[in-house]
Structure 1
């Protein structure tokens, strides 16, 4: 199996082929997802909620993400491995470089940071030091208290315009991938069309270059609730491997997300 690389993901966007992605936190699930030919595996700070039972992602540490990154890497042969930089782990340049190095050493092929144009210098510094970067815009869970909860972003025209500007700024700074979370379908399309780098959506409509779900949501086993933008594939198939296969097939065909899993 040919290993997925960032250039490979960019080629998928250029060809109009959707990118499939899931979160993973251990070797066993990583191996199963990898064997079904998932394109991207994200070790998300979502582990704070789905594994640790936290109310949000803020308590997650770099050591937490590094531990799970090592486990996922051991189970992965093909997929592109992406790791989250946790809350306040990139507050200063020195902290950013040190923490990103830990995650890369643990087995990540790229790190993900939440934030807009203000991250430009940080991203440029990481790229200069050989660390590939994925941006994250829209609903950025580390800013949940600023937003006043987990709410759809970019519904107002001014907010949508700023989000597009932020996305372009991240690309100019050197980001090679973008995750776009909980925005209206039209904005998801606008951002994907504006950027040359791949845009992977979660609750961003069907027109992004790919889709990602938290694995616990995709299997319908999240402890708290099922987000509107997700779908319980295990309920439909009754088998975990078939659930992953169906998810990938529906992402690739454009059947997922349907209007019922998107925001207007």
Structure 2
């Protein structure tokens, strides 16, 4: 308990010193490492959970800001808990763990984004500026100006699901940095051998049905974001599925790597291919894989 208390106090000091708000947000989940490493040999009990949330409360009173404790709890403690609980099992479903951890981080980012508005900063406004810059060539083209406003509104409305992509990458980072070198091979093997549950098809249907519900406030926006998130998952599943086929070819490692690089370079030309493969693989399980998320 003494070592765990020291680790928690270090987290508190980092929060008071505004380290969490100074570090690039993408790398914050790396702070989960000390906590996860400690619990490799010690079960996560209610006493430890109480200690962590007490540290969060102390961080609020001593730093006089909500941002540091929110980052600490939602981007460090909660993701660490998901990894700790997963590693207590005999077999870890790493793709599922990445999804769960990423979803937790996504919730933390959304909450943090709302709080930052009180301090004069907004992820949402920064996102809108990026969208404006990205769509600027369309805006300046007279032939496409009629579509500009509609496209801009669509991209802006997809802010939550775009943030989900970032959270998923952060979830991947959190899982990878907490794995030993030997375990990283298993993580990659599982990423190349998983498929999505058929339940996601029902979720996609619900999202599609929500799109025309203009009379219900936010229903259309929620449906669009949910559908985009599902597309992201299909895309990722399909991409890893296609890569898994390449790794099984009777070629040298160098040629396999060259094929994978060429495939990635071709994605902008045929971006819908991984999406379609992920969709149909979810239905038909082409690769006959047993790992499901």
Q: Same fold (TM over 0.5)?
A: no
- Structure of higher CA gyration radius: 2
Higher strand share: 1
Given the two structures, how large is their TM-score scaled by the length of structure 1?
Answer: 0.29
Given the two structures, how large is their TM-score scaled by the length of structure 2?
Answer: 0.26
Higher helix share: 2
